[in-house]
Structure 1
Amino acid sequence: MSEPTDSDRTLSPLDFETNEYRYSIQRPLVSHPDYDTLLIASRQSMEGGALKRVILKPVLLGDGHELRTRAVEEVHLSRFLRHPNIARVLGSALNDERAYVVMDMDPGRFLLSIMDAAISVQRKLSHGFAAYVAAEVADALDHAHRAVDDEGRPLHLVHRAVGPMRIRLGYKGRVQLTNFGAAWSELMGRIRTPPQMLRGDPAYTAPEILRGFEKPETGQRDPLTPLSLDGRADIFSLGLVLLELLLARYPLDPPDTLWLDIAQRFPPEVRGERPSSLLPLETLANRLLHFGPEEVQQATGELPEPLRRIVTRALRTEPAERYQTAGQMRDELRDFLQADGQPPYGAKQARAEVKQLFDQAPAPAELPAYSVVEIGALPAPPDMNLEHLED
């Protein structure tokens, strides 16, 4: 590629430069009030060279410094997260009005879009697909939960936002956990969560995060951040995702007769970091607080016994009764995938299943996720040559 000329450096409103790179924003990838806005952009070194497609997460630079500080923290934290199943953060970029977290782009789809496509053709994703995706995410979480800083001190990291919109499946079948912007950790200098602010996705929050209003721990300053918070909260969130994949519906959807005391259980003044289009926060919270062993047993009744056992353990109300590490959950899921009589299932099979699904699905623009979640990604943008990935 030739060296950019002066005319090439004339920036449009969607272009900006830093000391190292020139960015050109092409289209939204995610545009929805429930999730962080994500933009597809190209990046080129100021010295020339090949264009690289990246994802930008914009951070408004208003009067307060919290959002900007959190963006810097996310980039800093990413230094300690090097795993093939964790989406890479490449750094940050800053122009006059906003900062951006710059992330690598593995062409693919969010798990939410895949689930929407399956619903659109009235079919369930296979048990193998569900177990494979959950096992790969559990492997990523196991790495994150064990992460240490430069001095070898454990970070005790908790993702806090595991859900279908933080999991991506690449066109080659690789699963990646994304967006550690809501993570809790013991990283030196990290910004504290504001009181009564629920980080992450309310629909997949572990019950121990919500119980602080009922039974706060001694010395607990923030009712939504228990002193005992650890990676087992992410295991619960992943268990809900796995169950949703297996049932082809959100596990806490109606009937609502089990949750009639909403006003008495969870205070309405608590706010989520982002609104949820599914249900009001207090409704979601009370459903989660009531989602005990009996409800899990009823929901998993038709599943194969190995998967039922895995889901049941991941969704135990008390963290001490769950898997104690994400690695334990990963290993049991992989044992299921490799069991005698079970057809082999891995990245190749996941890629083939998703390709077949989207071959049957209606036009992407008709899918619920398309207009608000993956604009420009369903289907792949016409300027993204992905034919070599379909071999």
Structure 2
Amino acid sequence: MPTPKKSPPRAATRQGEDRYRDYRFSFESGEYRYDVEAPLLLHPDFDTLLVATRRHLTKKESRKVILKKVGAITGREARARATEEVRLAGFLHHPRIARVFDFVVHDGIPFVVMEHLKGSFLFTLLDLAAAVAHRLPIPFAVHVAAEVADALAYAHECEDDMGTPLHIVHRAVGPMRIRLTLDGRVKLTNFGAAYSELAGRMPTPRDLLRGDPAYIAPELLRAIFAANQRKSDPLAPKELDGRADIFSLGLVLLEMLTAKYPLDTLGLLPDRPATRFPPGIRTEHSTWIGLDVLANRVLRFGTEEVLRASAFAFEPLRAILVQALASDPEQRYRTAADMRDDLRNYLHETGGPSYGRQEVMAEVEAIVRMATESKLLAAQPMEYGVLPDLEDLQRNEKRG
């Protein structure tokens, strides 16, 4: 079972119709009315996500959307960040990347309007699986990683309207940015922390570490330490490219395979970290572990640790993990497409049945059913509304 990385808020249960009353409000913006119905995610380590229905004011059309609150910054900068995220998303048209529609402002707070994908985050599924002592099948983990690698391969090569490469780096690839839909699709979400060379983009503040520190690539940390010594800009190193996302995806894959966060329980650290994180650097959200400890774990994580953690796997899969998680980006996969191809070849060469949406859907349904039937409140994820009532499942069975 994975070591818990975060403290979820109190689980959402069916205790009357008022359980979400603090998150029900409506407002109009542009051509649409937004009726916010419930939270999807409320946690200091991640962006606040609200489920809403967007209705056109003059046409008979409506759809469910997600409103993502732009956090960590306020005022004009927050609006500029939201605008930039929407502009960047306008170039990202891929079946494995969640769509972004617009941004709106309510009570002075900007929200990015995103595609609503019924299902769960990979993080939620990992938590539910751990709660019922269920290990994700290796083909499931490899397939999910291959789908995300495919999305990253597209994003890394994306160009603007003039054919100029955007050099996008997601910078926040992790289980809370990977969405598994009810019909078995895998979607990479939330490019809000992405680095790009989009014309007119806002520079990253010198003291702000963007993305998810828990899945950060070691070269970014080394750049921060080096820049701190020479008093230069530490957060946008020249060597930053898509290989940083490959490392993050490698950690996610290893986490799916082992049911453990790879940097948590390896005993790599002395009592006091040998390297101190440069003072004055802040993160976009709170972190579940001190930056000193996290930085040392990332920088000391190497081939030996990867092989030890993946001892149960066949050699071809271990080789993929070693290459994806190489500390030196020059030894890592050159492109996400190369990693995707190796993962898909592994699935093909292991000789099992083809793995796709039906298999993903069946696995997600099985885990949710086990977690629901166990009636363990501890199994409730920090993502609201994932677990149905057991009565709902039984009712659906009768209908079937």
- For normalisation by structure 2, the TM-score amounts to 0.87
Partner residue in 2 for 1:348: 358
| Cα offset, 1:367, TM superposition | 5.5
Q: Pick one of 3, 17, 24 that aligns with 2:28.
A: 17
1:267 and 2:278 matched: yes
In the alignment, is the contact (CA less than 8 A) between 2:275 and 2:292 conserved in 1? no
Distance 1:340 1:240, change over 3 A: closer
**Count of residue pairs the alignment pairs up:** 374
Unaligned runs of 5+ in 2: 1-22
Report SS of the residue matched to 1:24: strand
Give per-residue Cα distances to partners, 1:315-336, cap 9 Å, x unaligned.
0011111111100000111111
Aligned AA (1:146): E
Partner residue in 2 for 1:322: 332
Partner residue in 2 for 1:5: none
Give per-residue Cα distances to partners, 1:30-55, cap 9 Å, x unaligned.
10000000000001100141331100
Partners of 1:61 and 1:47 in 2: how far apart?
35
Partners of 1:142 and 1:257 in 2: how far apart?
32
| Cα offset, 1:61, TM superposition | 11
Point out the more displaced range, 85-94 or 210-219.
210-219
Q: Pick one of 49, 59, 83 that aligns with 2:94.
A: 83
Report SS of the residue matched to 1:49: coil
Q: Pick one of 242, 245, 258 that aligns with 1:247.
A: 258
Q: Pick one of 285, 290, 307 that aligns with 1:297.
A: 307
Identity %: 51
Distance 1:62 1:282, change over 3 A: closer
| Cα offset, 1:62, TM superposition | 7.7
In the alignment, is the contact (CA less than 8 A) between 2:171 and 2:216 conserved in 1? yes
Report SS of the residue matched to 2:275: helix
| Cα offset, 1:258, TM superposition | 3.5
Partners of 1:322 and 1:135 in 2: how far apart?
16
| Cα offset, 1:98, TM superposition | 1.7
Give per-residue Cα distances to partners, 1:91-115, cap 9 Å, x unaligned.
1122342221101112110000110
CA RMSD of aligned residues (A): 2.7
Partner residue in 2 for 1:306: 316
Point out the more displaced range, 331-340 or 36-45.
331-340
Distance 1:366 1:37, change over 3 A: farther
Give per-residue Cα distances to partners, 1:218-262, cap 9 Å, x unaligned.
999421321110000000000000000000000111243444451
Point out the more displaced range, 299-308 or 360-369.
360-369
| Cα offset, 1:120, TM superposition | 0.8
- For normalisation by structure 1, the TM-score amounts to 0.89
Distance 1:351 1:220, change over 3 A: farther
Point out the more displaced range, 63-72 or 168-177.
63-72
Report SS of the residue matched to 1:264: coil
Distance 1:297 1:157, change over 3 A: same
In the alignment, is the contact (CA less than 8 A) between 1:313 and 1:322 conserved in 2? yes
In the alignment, is the contact (CA less than 8 A) between 1:60 and 1:98 conserved in 2? no
Distance 1:235 1:322, change over 3 A: same
Aligned AA (2:261): Y
1:336 and 2:346 matched: yes
In the alignment, is the contact (CA less than 8 A) between 1:108 and 1:168 conserved in 2? yes
Q: Pick one of 130, 143, 152 that aligns with 1:119.
A: 130
Give per-residue Cα distances to partners, 1:262-302, cap 9 Å, x unaligned.
1534335422211112x112211110011012212211222
Partners of 2:256 and 2:388 in 1: how far apart?
22
Partner residue in 1 for 2:79: 68
Q: Pick one of 193, 201, 210 that aligns with 2:212.
A: 201
Q: Pick one of 360, 364, 368 that aligns with 1:358.
A: 368
Distance 1:337 1:220, change over 3 A: farther
Distance 1:179 1:363, change over 3 A: farther
Report SS of the residue matched to 1:28: strand
Report SS of the residue matched to 1:65: helix
Unaligned runs of 5+ in 1: 1-11
Partner residue in 1 for 2:41: 30
Point out the more displaced range, 254-263 or 77-86.
254-263
Partners of 1:255 and 1:341 in 2: how far apart?
32
